[in-house]
Structure 1
Amino acid sequence: MVEIRKQASLNLSNVRHSFLILSDEVHDEADEVASILHKAHKLRTFLLHSSITRVPYNFFHHLRCLRALDLSQTRLNKLPQSVEQLKHLRYLDLSYTHIEELPELVSNCRNLQTLRLNACARLYKLPRGMRKMIFMRHLELEDTHMLKFLRQGVGRLTELRTLTDFIVGGGDEGCKCGELKNLNHLQGRLRIIGLENVRSTDEAREAELYKKQHVHALILDYDSIGGGLLDEEVKRRENVLEILQPNTNLKEFEIWNYEGSKLPSWIEDPVFSNLVKVNLMNCSKCKKLPGLGKLPSLKCLIIEGMEEEEWELRGGDGEVMPSLLQLEIRDCPKLKALPYNLPPLLRKLALNITNDGMSLEGPLPVLPNLNHLVIWYSPELTSFPCGWLGQLKALQTREIYRCPMLGSLPEELPHLTMLRELKITCCPLLVDRCRDGGEDWDNIAHIPCIKIFT
Structure 2
Amino acid sequence: MHDLVHDLVLSIGHEEWLEIDSDNKDVASTVRHLSISSSDQEVSKFSNKLTNVKSIIYRTEPHVSSVEACISRFKSLRVLAIPDSDFENLPSSIGTQKHLRYLDLTRNQSIKKLPNSICKLHNLQTLLLDGCENLERLPKDMRNMVNLRALAVTTKDTCLLENGVCCFSSLQILSMRSCPKLERLFPQMDRCLTNLRTLGFMECASLTSLIPIIKHLTALEILYISDCKEMDLKEGGGGDALDLNLRLQILDIRRLPKLEVLPEWLLEFADTLRHLHINECENLKALPEWLPTLKSLQTLEITRSNELSSLPEGIHHMKTLRKLKIKGCPQLVTRLQDWSNIPELEFDYEDDEVI
TM range (shorter): 0.7 to 0.9
Residue 393 of structure 1 is matched in structure 2 by: 295
Match 1:263 to one of 160, 173, 176: 160
User: Could you tell me whether the CA contact under 8 Å between 2:260 and 2:283 is conserved in 1?
Assistant: no
User: Could you tell me whether the CA contact under 8 Å between 2:248 and 2:273 is conserved in 1?
Assistant: yes
CA distance in 1, matches of 2:174, 2:229: 20
CA distance in 2, matches of 1:166, 1:131: 21
User: Could you tell me whether the CA contact under 8 Å between 2:104 and 2:127 is conserved in 1?
Assistant: yes
Give the direction of change, closer, same or farther, for the CA distance of 1:358–1:285 in structure 2 (3 Å limit): farther
User: Could you tell me whether the CA contact under 8 Å between 1:248 and 1:272 is conserved in 2?
Assistant: yes
How do residues 140-159 of structure 1 correspond to structure 2 at under 5 angstroms? Answer: 140=57, 144=59, 147=61, 151-152=66-67, 153-155=69-71, 156-159=73-76
The residue type paired with residue 173 of structure 2 is: K
Q: Which has the higher contact order (CA 8 A, sep 6+)?
A: 2
User: Could you tell me whether the CA contact under 8 Å between 1:134 and 1:159 is conserved in 2?
Assistant: no
CA distance in 2, matches of 1:193, 1:354: 25
The residue type paired with residue 32 of structure 2 is: Q
Match 2:207 to one of 309, 313, 316: 309
Cα deviation for residue 111 of structure 1 reads 3.4
Pair 1:447 & 2:342 matched = yes
The residue type paired with residue 445 of structure 1 is: S
Match 2:328 to one of 424, 427, 430: 427
CA distance in 2, matches of 1:197, 1:137: 27
Mark the structure with the bigger radius of gyration: 1
Give the direction of change, closer, same or farther, for the CA distance of 1:254–1:107 in structure 2 (3 Å limit): farther
Residue 21 of structure 2 is matched in structure 1 by: 102
User: Could you tell me whether the CA contact under 8 Å between 1:386 and 1:411 is conserved in 2?
Assistant: no
User: Could you tell me whether the CA contact under 8 Å between 1:333 and 1:358 is conserved in 2?
Assistant: no
Cα deviation for residue 287 of structure 1 reads 2.7
User: Could you tell me whether the CA contact under 8 Å between 1:204 and 1:243 is conserved in 2?
Assistant: no
Match 1:350 to one of 252, 271, 280: 252
Match 1:374 to one of 267, 272, 277: 277
Residue 220 of structure 2 is matched in structure 1 by: 324
Give the direction of change, closer, same or farther, for the CA distance of 1:427–1:136 in structure 2 (3 Å limit): same
CA distance in 2, matches of 1:115, 1:453: 48
How do residues 115-134 of structure 1 correspond to structure 2 at under 5 angstroms? Answer: 115-116=34-35, 123=37, 125=39, 127-129=42-44, 131-132=47-48, 133-134=50-51
Give the direction of change, closer, same or farther, for the CA distance of 1:293–1:336 in structure 2 (3 Å limit): farther
The residue type paired with residue 306 of structure 1 is: C
User: Could you tell me whether the CA contact under 8 Å between 1:149 and 1:167 is conserved in 2?
Assistant: no
User: Could you tell me whether the CA contact under 8 Å between 1:333 and 1:357 is conserved in 2?
Assistant: no
Q: TM-score under structure 2 normalisation?
A: 0.77
Residue 178 of structure 1 is matched in structure 2 by: 92
CA distance in 2, matches of 1:314, 1:354: 19
CA distance in 2, matches of 1:444, 1:407: 17
SS at match of 2:205: coil
Q: Deviations over 1:346-400 (max 9, x none)?
A: 111112475634632566542121111111221343x423223122111011122
User: Could you tell me whether the CA contact under 8 Å between 1:134 and 1:158 is conserved in 2?
Assistant: no
Cα deviation for residue 19 of structure 1 reads 2.6
Cα deviation for residue 222 of structure 1 reads 4.0
The residue type paired with residue 68 of structure 1 is: G
Q: Deviations over 1:113-168 (max 9, x none)?
A: 12357xxxxx5756331543342112245xx5x54656241112112122244676
Residue 191 of structure 1 is matched in structure 2 by: 104
Give the direction of change, closer, same or farther, for the CA distance of 1:293–1:401 in structure 2 (3 Å limit): farther
User: Could you tell me whether the CA contact under 8 Å between 1:213 and 1:247 is conserved in 2?
Assistant: yes
CA distance in 2, matches of 1:397, 1:251: 28
CA distance in 2, matches of 1:167, 1:386: 44
CA distance in 1, matches of 2:17, 2:180: 41
Q: Deviations over 1:58-82 (max 9, x none)?
A: xxxxxxxx6533xxxxxxxxxxxxx
The residue type paired with residue 216 of structure 2 is: V
Pair 1:221 & 2:123 matched = no
The residue type paired with residue 183 of structure 2 is: K
Match 2:175 to one of 271, 275, 279: 279
User: Could you tell me whether the CA contact under 8 Å between 1:125 and 1:147 is conserved in 2?
Assistant: no
Residue 150 of structure 2 is matched in structure 1 by: 252
CA distance in 1, matches of 2:226, 2:112: 31
The residue type paired with residue 366 of structure 1 is: E
SS at match of 1:218: strand
Give the direction of change, closer, same or farther, for the CA distance of 1:68–1:289 in structure 2 (3 Å limit): closer
